[in-house]
A = this chain, B = another copy of it.
Amino acid sequence: MSSAARPAGRPRSMKAERAIIEATLDMMGEGLSVSDLSIEAVAARAGVGKTTIYRRWAGKEDLIVDALASLKAPMPPLAGVSVRDDLITYLTATMRESTEGRTRCIVTMAMGEAPRYPEMAARFRQIAIEPRRAAVRALLQRGIESGELRPDADVELAMSMLSGTMMWMTRWPVTDGEPVDEELPARIVDMVLTGLAPRS
Protein backbone atom coordinates (compact mmCIF):
# COMPACT_ATOMS: atom_id res chain seq x y z
CA MET A 1 0.00 0.00 0.00
CA SER A 2 2.98 2.27 0.32
CA SER A 3 3.34 4.20 -2.92
CA ALA A 4 7.06 4.63 -2.22
CA ALA A 5 7.41 0.84 -2.32
CA ARG A 6 6.63 0.50 -6.03
CA PRO A 7 8.37 2.00 -9.01
CA ALA A 8 6.71 5.13 -10.36
CA GLY A 9 3.82 4.80 -12.83
CA ARG A 10 4.18 3.31 -16.29
CA PRO A 11 4.62 -0.46 -16.18
CA ARG A 12 1.99 -1.08 -13.52
CA SER A 13 -0.56 1.37 -14.93
CA MET A 14 -0.01 0.08 -18.44
CA LYS A 15 -0.79 -3.41 -17.25
CA ALA A 16 -4.04 -2.18 -15.65
CA GLU A 17 -4.91 -0.22 -18.79
CA ARG A 18 -4.40 -3.30 -20.91
CA ALA A 19 -6.64 -5.34 -18.57
CA ILE A 20 -9.34 -2.66 -18.75
CA ILE A 21 -9.20 -2.50 -22.55
CA GLU A 22 -9.29 -6.29 -22.81
CA ALA A 23 -12.25 -6.52 -20.43
CA THR A 24 -14.11 -3.94 -22.52
CA LEU A 25 -13.37 -5.81 -25.74
CA ASP A 26 -14.31 -9.18 -24.25
CA MET A 27 -17.65 -7.84 -23.13
CA MET A 28 -18.34 -6.22 -26.50
CA GLY A 29 -17.24 -9.45 -28.19
CA GLU A 30 -19.86 -11.27 -26.14
CA GLY A 31 -22.48 -9.01 -27.65
CA LEU A 32 -22.86 -6.22 -25.09
CA SER A 33 -23.74 -2.98 -26.84
CA VAL A 34 -22.52 0.48 -25.86
CA SER A 35 -25.65 1.04 -23.78
CA ASP A 36 -25.25 -2.35 -22.07
CA LEU A 37 -21.69 -1.66 -20.95
CA SER A 38 -20.98 0.08 -17.65
CA ILE A 39 -17.74 1.27 -16.06
CA GLU A 40 -18.73 -0.76 -13.03
CA ALA A 41 -18.98 -4.01 -14.98
CA VAL A 42 -15.73 -3.35 -16.85
CA ALA A 43 -13.93 -2.66 -13.56
CA ALA A 44 -15.22 -5.91 -12.07
CA ARG A 45 -14.21 -7.90 -15.14
CA ALA A 46 -10.75 -6.31 -15.27
CA GLY A 47 -10.20 -6.76 -11.53
CA VAL A 48 -9.57 -3.06 -10.89
CA GLY A 49 -11.39 -0.34 -9.01
CA LYS A 50 -13.61 2.13 -10.86
CA THR A 51 -11.19 4.89 -9.83
CA THR A 52 -8.43 3.25 -11.84
CA ILE A 53 -10.61 3.55 -14.93
CA TYR A 54 -11.66 7.13 -14.24
CA ARG A 55 -8.02 8.11 -13.69
CA ARG A 56 -7.39 7.36 -17.34
CA TRP A 57 -10.75 7.83 -19.12
CA ALA A 58 -13.39 10.52 -18.65
CA GLY A 59 -16.16 7.96 -19.08
CA LYS A 60 -17.54 4.94 -20.85
CA GLU A 61 -17.52 6.48 -24.31
CA ASP A 62 -13.84 7.44 -24.19
CA LEU A 63 -12.91 3.98 -22.95
CA ILE A 64 -14.88 2.28 -25.73
CA VAL A 65 -13.30 4.47 -28.43
CA ASP A 66 -9.82 3.55 -27.18
CA ALA A 67 -10.77 -0.12 -26.94
CA LEU A 68 -12.06 -0.11 -30.53
CA ALA A 69 -8.99 1.76 -31.76
CA SER A 70 -6.74 -0.87 -30.14
CA LEU A 71 -8.27 -3.48 -32.47
CA LYS A 72 -6.76 -1.80 -35.49
CA ALA A 73 -3.51 -3.52 -36.34
CA PRO A 74 -0.63 -1.08 -36.91
CA MET A 75 -0.74 0.06 -40.52
CA PRO A 76 2.02 -1.76 -42.44
CA PRO A 77 4.54 0.45 -44.26
CA LEU A 78 3.32 1.07 -47.81
CA ALA A 79 6.43 1.97 -49.76
CA GLY A 80 7.25 -1.19 -51.64
CA VAL A 81 8.23 -1.87 -55.22
CA SER A 82 4.82 -1.54 -56.85
CA VAL A 83 1.40 -0.15 -56.03
CA ARG A 84 0.00 -3.64 -56.59
CA ASP A 85 2.31 -5.11 -53.91
CA ASP A 86 1.48 -2.35 -51.45
CA LEU A 87 -2.25 -2.73 -51.97
CA ILE A 88 -1.93 -6.46 -51.30
CA THR A 89 0.08 -5.73 -48.12
CA TYR A 90 -2.62 -3.33 -46.98
CA LEU A 91 -5.53 -5.69 -47.72
CA THR A 92 -3.71 -8.58 -46.03
CA ALA A 93 -3.59 -6.52 -42.82
CA THR A 94 -7.29 -5.66 -43.07
CA MET A 95 -8.13 -9.32 -43.81
CA ARG A 96 -6.48 -10.36 -40.52
CA GLU A 97 -8.70 -7.88 -38.68
CA SER A 98 -11.84 -8.94 -40.52
CA THR A 99 -11.39 -12.63 -39.82
CA GLU A 100 -10.31 -12.62 -36.16
CA GLY A 101 -13.47 -13.74 -34.34
CA ARG A 102 -13.79 -11.22 -31.55
CA THR A 103 -12.67 -8.27 -33.67
CA ARG A 104 -15.09 -9.16 -36.42
CA CYS A 105 -18.00 -9.36 -34.05
CA ILE A 106 -17.13 -6.08 -32.35
CA VAL A 107 -16.50 -4.14 -35.57
CA THR A 108 -19.79 -5.25 -37.13
CA MET A 109 -21.66 -4.28 -33.98
CA ALA A 110 -19.83 -0.96 -33.70
CA MET A 111 -20.73 -0.10 -37.31
CA GLY A 112 -24.36 -0.80 -36.48
CA GLU A 113 -24.23 1.42 -33.40
CA ALA A 114 -22.25 4.30 -34.96
CA PRO A 115 -25.33 6.29 -36.05
CA ARG A 116 -26.65 6.26 -32.49
CA TYR A 117 -23.38 7.55 -30.99
CA PRO A 118 -22.22 10.26 -33.39
CA GLU A 119 -19.57 11.76 -31.09
CA MET A 120 -17.95 8.43 -30.35
CA ALA A 121 -18.10 7.51 -34.02
CA ALA A 122 -16.46 10.80 -35.00
CA ARG A 123 -13.63 10.35 -32.52
CA PHE A 124 -13.03 6.77 -33.60
CA ARG A 125 -13.01 7.86 -37.21
CA GLN A 126 -10.47 10.55 -36.42
CA ILE A 127 -8.02 8.45 -34.42
CA ALA A 128 -8.38 5.03 -36.07
CA ILE A 129 -9.80 5.35 -39.56
CA GLU A 130 -8.61 8.61 -41.12
CA PRO A 131 -4.86 7.91 -40.74
CA ARG A 132 -5.29 4.66 -42.66
CA ARG A 133 -7.46 6.19 -45.30
CA ALA A 134 -4.83 8.91 -45.75
CA ALA A 135 -2.11 6.28 -46.24
CA VAL A 136 -4.12 4.39 -48.87
CA ARG A 137 -5.06 7.64 -50.61
CA ALA A 138 -1.36 8.60 -50.80
CA LEU A 139 -0.51 5.17 -52.18
CA LEU A 140 -3.11 5.46 -54.94
CA GLN A 141 -1.95 8.99 -55.76
CA ARG A 142 1.60 7.67 -56.03
CA GLY A 143 0.30 5.06 -58.50
CA ILE A 144 -1.28 7.76 -60.63
CA GLU A 145 1.97 9.74 -60.65
CA SER A 146 4.06 6.67 -61.54
CA GLY A 147 1.68 5.67 -64.33
CA GLU A 148 0.74 2.38 -62.64
CA LEU A 149 -2.82 3.72 -62.36
CA ARG A 150 -4.76 5.62 -64.98
CA PRO A 151 -4.60 9.42 -64.62
CA ASP A 152 -8.37 9.75 -64.17
CA ALA A 153 -8.64 7.03 -61.49
CA ASP A 154 -11.44 7.74 -58.99
CA VAL A 155 -9.30 7.49 -55.84
CA GLU A 156 -12.07 7.80 -53.25
CA LEU A 157 -14.18 5.15 -54.94
CA ALA A 158 -11.15 2.86 -55.32
CA MET A 159 -10.51 3.10 -51.57
CA SER A 160 -14.08 2.01 -50.83
CA MET A 161 -13.90 -0.73 -53.43
CA LEU A 162 -10.85 -2.27 -51.77
CA SER A 163 -12.19 -2.04 -48.20
CA GLY A 164 -15.82 -2.77 -49.04
CA THR A 165 -15.00 -5.89 -51.04
CA MET A 166 -12.75 -7.23 -48.28
CA MET A 167 -15.42 -6.50 -45.68
CA TRP A 168 -18.11 -8.16 -47.76
CA MET A 169 -16.08 -11.26 -48.70
CA THR A 170 -15.15 -11.96 -45.07
CA ARG A 171 -18.60 -11.64 -43.55
CA TRP A 172 -21.98 -13.15 -43.48
CA PRO A 173 -23.87 -13.62 -45.84
CA VAL A 174 -20.94 -14.41 -48.14
CA THR A 175 -18.72 -16.56 -45.95
CA ASP A 176 -21.31 -18.35 -43.84
CA GLY A 177 -18.57 -19.55 -41.51
CA GLU A 178 -16.24 -20.95 -44.17
CA PRO A 179 -12.56 -20.02 -43.95
CA VAL A 180 -11.44 -17.11 -46.10
CA ASP A 181 -9.18 -17.74 -49.12
CA GLU A 182 -5.61 -16.64 -48.30
CA GLU A 183 -5.28 -15.36 -51.87
CA LEU A 184 -8.20 -12.99 -51.41
CA PRO A 185 -6.09 -9.78 -51.11
CA ALA A 186 -4.34 -10.47 -54.42
CA ARG A 187 -7.61 -11.47 -56.12
CA ILE A 188 -9.27 -8.23 -55.05
CA VAL A 189 -6.31 -6.05 -56.03
CA ASP A 190 -6.00 -7.69 -59.45
CA MET A 191 -9.67 -7.29 -60.21
CA VAL A 192 -9.64 -3.65 -59.13
CA LEU A 193 -6.56 -3.03 -61.28
CA THR A 194 -7.55 -4.87 -64.44
CA GLY A 195 -11.36 -4.81 -64.41
CA LEU A 196 -13.85 -7.31 -65.77
CA ALA A 197 -13.99 -6.14 -69.37
CA PRO A 198 -11.63 -7.78 -71.87
CA ARG A 199 -8.41 -5.86 -72.54
CA SER A 200 -7.51 -5.77 -76.17
Contact = CB atoms under 8 A, between A and B. Distances in A.
Number of copies: 2
Given A149-B197, A153-B196, A191 B158 contact: yes
Interface stretch (A18-26, A56-64, A108-116): A108-116
A150 B194 CA distance: 10
A113 to B, nearest CB: 8
Contact of A114 (B148, B173, B195): B173
Interface stretch (A7-15, A41-49, A70-78, A163-171): A163-171
B161 A197 contact: no
Interface string A153-187: 11001101101111111011110100000000001
A192 interface: yes
Nearest to A176: B125
Given A187-B154, A191-B154, A168 B172 contact: no
Contact of A197 (B115, B154, B176, B193): B193
Interface residues of A, number: 51
B109 A173 contact: no
B199 A199 contact: yes
Contacts of A172: 111, 114-115, 121, 125
A155 to B, nearest CB: 9
A123 to B, nearest CB: 11
9 contacts: A111-B171, A114-B172, A150-B196, A157-B187, A158-B196, A160-B174, A161-B191, A193-B196, A195-B196
